[in-house]
């Protein structure tokens, strides 16, 4: 059973090295690529004001956060929630830097040491859509995910939206025959009618073989003999012989 946690944070600013802190952290659980409804969410008192630009993004004021717990009060609940799960984050270096700074203040190991794997959906998106905007909003629009209610950034809402984005980004990894969510017994039954299905096999003509050999020789010449697709020598039999 594959367990994943889609995680997001909100912060007082952009630089944990200058003292910026986490003010909200949230994660939603996926089991076998399905949201389970389990989640972790906490607002945090950072003991400092947010940068004005950050405040415009998340809207979490000092007054609102004044009676919220400190990171040290929720850290063990958070680590228990993420333990043994693959962590999915959009722009993971940003969130991990803040989590590491908070953990270091408590003399705890870095975040990566508490989980088996961290997957960065921003890296995935840049690979699939090079040269395009790949913010969470841009990806929601690209995949037709409704984010009209996202007027301000919020860790829990963003984690839920990112879960949908992640599933859309990885949908091409699903089986072409059955959905990955199908139980193993049903999957076996669904695939069984394909066993022994006769696949048509066409042999190339002599002209096609010659054209193929000419193309391979051209590749070999262009790569100065480094091509992994070598043309056949005259002693080698043709595939149709």
Q: Give the CATH number for residue 162.
A: 3.30.420.10
The more confidently predicted of residues 157 and 236 is 157
- 239 in any annotated domain: no
- The residue range of the domain holding 211 is 202-233
The yes-or-no verdict on residue 25 having pLDDT over 70 is yes
In a domain, 91, yes or no: yes
Residue 224 binned pLDDT confidence (cut-offs 50, 70, 90): confident
Same domain for 206 and 141:
no
Answer yes or no: do 107 and 13 share one domain: yes
User: What pLDDT does residue 201 have?
Assistant: 66
pLDDT score at 198 = 60
Highest mean pLDDT among 44-53, 182-191, 220-229: 44-53
Which of 41, 58, 90, 153 is catalytic? The answer is 153
| Residues 54 and 172 placed together within one structural domain of the fold | yes
pLDDT of 206 reads: 85
Per-residue pLDDT at 215:
80
Please count the structural domains in the chain.
2
Burial class (CB in 10 A: 0-12, 13-18, 19+), 16: buried
Within a 13 Å sphere around the CA of 59, how many CA atoms are in the beta-carbon half?
Answer: 6
Residues 177 and 216 reside in one and the same domain: no
Average pLDDT, the chain: 86
Q: Does 190 map to a domain?
A: no
* Pair (118, 222) in one structural domain: no
Q: What is the mean pLDDT of residues 212-229?
A: 77
200 band by pLDDT with thresholds 50, 70 and 90: low
- Is the pLDDT confidence value at 56 over 90? yes
Residue 191 inside a domain? The answer is: no
The span from the CA of 116 to the CA of 153, in Å, is 28
Average pLDDT of the residues in 143-156: 84
Are residue 17 and residue 83 in the same domain, yes or no? yes
Q: How far apart are the first and last CA of the chain?
A: 49
Q: Compute the half-sphere exposure of residue 232: CA atoms within 13 Å on the CB side of its CA.
A: 11
In a domain, 188, yes or no: no
pLDDT at 191 over 70: no
Total-model pTM: 0.71
pLDDT at 219: 77
pLDDT in tens, 99-118: 999 999 999 999 999 999 99
Q: Are residues 209 and 99 in the same domain?
A: no
pLDDT tier, 185 (very low <50, low <70, confident <90, very high otherwise): very low
Q: 11 in a domain, yes or no?
A: yes
Q: Which residues contact 51 (CB under 8 A, 6 or more apart)?
A: 12, 13, 14, 20
Does 153 participate in catalysis according to the annotation? yes
User: Is residue 46 situated within a structural domain?
Assistant: yes
Q: How confident is the model at residue 180 (pLDDT cuts 50, 70, 90)?
A: very low
- What confidence score (pLDDT) does residue 151 get? 66
Domain identity same for 134 and 38: yes
Q: 82 and 142 in one domain?
A: yes
Confidence of residue 48 (pLDDT cuts 50, 70, 90): very high
Residues 66, 169, single domain; the answer is yes
Domain match, 66 and 145 both: yes
165 shares a domain with 64: yes
Helix (H, G, I), strand (E, B) or coil at 6: strand
CB–CB of 145/164 below 8 Å? yes
- Closest listed residue to residue 87, CA positions, set 44, 121, 124: 121
Whether the per-residue pLDDT at 6 is higher than 90: the answer is yes
| Statement: residue 123 has pLDDT above 80 | yes
Residue 195 lies in a domain: no
């Amino acid at each position: 059973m594959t367990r994943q946690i889609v995680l997001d944070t909100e912060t007082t600013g952009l630089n944990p090295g200058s003292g910026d802190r986490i003010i909200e952290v949230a994660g939603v659980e996926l089991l076998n690529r399905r949201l389970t409804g389990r989640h972790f969410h906490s607002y945090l008192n950072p003991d400092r004001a947010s940068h004005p630009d950050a405040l415009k993004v998340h809207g979490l004021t000092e007054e609102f956060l004044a009676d919220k717990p400190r990171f040290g009060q929720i850290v063990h609940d958070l680590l228990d929630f993420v333990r043994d799960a693959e962590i999915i984050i959009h722009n993971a270096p940003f969130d991990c830097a803040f989590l590491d700074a908070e953990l270091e203040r408590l003399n705890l190991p870095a975040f990566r040491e508490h989980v088996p794997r961290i997957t960065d959906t921003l890296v995935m998106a840049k690979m699939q859509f090079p040269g395009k905007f790949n913010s969470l909003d841009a990806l929601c629009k690209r995949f037709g995910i409704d984010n009209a209610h996202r007027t301000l950034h919020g860790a829990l809402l963003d984690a839920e939206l990112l879960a949908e984005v992640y599933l859309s980004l990885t949908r091409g990894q699903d089986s072409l025959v059955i959905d990955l969510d199908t139980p193993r017994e049903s999957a076996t039954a669904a695939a069984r009618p394909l066993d022994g299905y006769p696949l048509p096999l066409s042999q190339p003509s002599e002209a096609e073989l010659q054209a193929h050999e000419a193309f391979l020789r051209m590749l070999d010449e262009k790569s100065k003999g480094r091509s992994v697709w070598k043309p056949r020598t005259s002693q080698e039999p043709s595939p149709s012989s």
